[in-house]
Amino acid sequence: MLSDLSLEELKNYVNEKGLPTFRGSQIFDAIYNGKAINEITNLPKPLLEEISEEYPKYKIVKRYESKDGTKKYIIEFSDGEVVECVLMSYKYGNTICVSTQVGCRMGCKFCASGLNGLKRNLSSGEILGQVLLVNKDLGGTVKERKITNIVLMGSGEPLDNYDNVIKFLRLVTSENGLNISDRNISLSTCGLVPEIYRLADEGLNITLTISLHAPNDEIRQRTMPIANRYSIKEILDACRNYIDKTKRRVAIEYTLIKGVNDSKVCAEELIRLLKGMLCHVNIIPLNYVKERGLTAATRKEAYQFVGLLEKGGLSATVRRTMGEDIAGACGQLRNSYMRGEA
């Protein structure tokens, strides 16, 4: 698909067809302005016909808007698969939360994204497509973009789709594209250790976010199957390497689940684990996922937990929950729209 290609690659693509280089720039502009092929007015018809197979066909098929202004978009790809992405508006700009896979194979017990396993990976151009479509929906263009920040925290495990995710990051940060600063991008992972080491060497200074959710391996194994593969120690060693290489502070996500990981003892263990590491802990009260049968800690309990962490010397805050009324909050994204469940 043509949105998988950089500007250079698109220029080569048209050159190979015997066409002048500027045609590549025109196609690039159309893609980056989120245009469907029938909205392109500056290309000759035979050329449009020639590229129509490979021109992106993703589209927004539904929008939901939350009371708090958060928007959830359902995006459909050419094979009929759908993903959800979420737009959050803040004073400083607009953050889009993109999906990296249709479904997920990590199987975390609290999350909706893996309920039906992994359907398929998204290509780099399909991840980018979510940003381009939403940017256009907000009235943005490639020159005047409305999206300022990106979080790879939708459905899927980004590091389980490593090459496409890296290519996406290079496309979305490229100067002639949306030119989004790597400092404004966060990638969240449940902790695929070898890929965290690889990521540290990509020269992309994005914020690494770890979905930790437990202070020890035993508790982590109860809710996250990946904990049987990598220990917390291995994950944190990989984080320290990431910090060394990028000088970036790592974010730790910790979803508070009643009776599972919310005790004072858990807080104390977490302090011992993270003390001295350049990190910030986000405490998220569990968001509701009907199939999962887990109970959330209250916001008050979340603030108390944060209080304990702060007293122990950690930097921590309670993450604001956005878009829960449209099932657009952390862990609520799924690919069930076509089955009418969303």
Identify the residue among 31, 75, 86, 111 touching ligand SAH (CB under 6 A).
111
- Which of these ranges, 13-21, 140-148, 235-243, 285-293, lies near ligand SAH under the rule CB under 6 A? 285-293
Q: What is the C-alpha separation between 330 and 337, in angstroms, rounded?
A: 17
CA distances from 269 to 62, 223, 312 (A): 44, 18, 10
- Which of these ranges, 3-11, 140-148, 263-271, 281-289, lies near ligand SAH under the rule CB under 6 A? 281-289
DSSP letters, 287-342, are PP-TTT---BPPHHHHHHHHHHHHHTT--EEEPPP--GGGT-STT---S-GGGT--
Residue 218 neighbours by CB under 8 Å, 6+ apart: none
Q: Is 4 in the site for ligand SAH (CB under 6 A)?
A: no
Helical packing angle, 299-311 and 264-274, nearest 10°: 40
- Which of these ranges, 34-42, 61-69, 102-110, 141-149, lies near ligand SAH under the rule CB under 6 A? 102-110
Q: What is the C-alpha separation between 258 and 247, in angstroms, rounded?
A: 35
Binding residues with ligand SAH: total (CB under 6 A): 18
Q: Is 195 in the site for ligand SAH (CB under 6 A)?
A: no
234 included as an active-site residue:
no
84 included as an active-site residue:
yes
The alpha carbon of 91 is separated from its chain's Cα centroid by a whole number of angstroms, namely 21
Q: Is 157 in the site for ligand SAH (CB under 6 A)?
A: yes
Among residues 195, 266, 330, 341, which one is catalytic? 330
Closest-approach residue to ligand SAH (CB): 331
Q: What are phi and psi of 151, to 5 degrees?
A: -120, 130
- Which of these ranges, 103-111, 121-129, 192-200, 307-315, lies near ligand SAH under the rule CB under 6 A? 103-111
Q: Which two tokens stand for residue 208?
A: 């690494």
Q: State the nearest-atom distance from the C-beta of 114 to ligand SAH, in Å.
A: 9
Among residues 9, 65, 84, 266, which one is catalytic? 84
The interface with ligand SAH within residues 11-40 (CB under 6 A) comprises none
Task: Give the binding site for ligand SAH (CB under 6 A).
Answer: 106, 108, 110-111, 153, 157, 188-190, 211, 253, 255, 284, 286-287, 289, 330-331
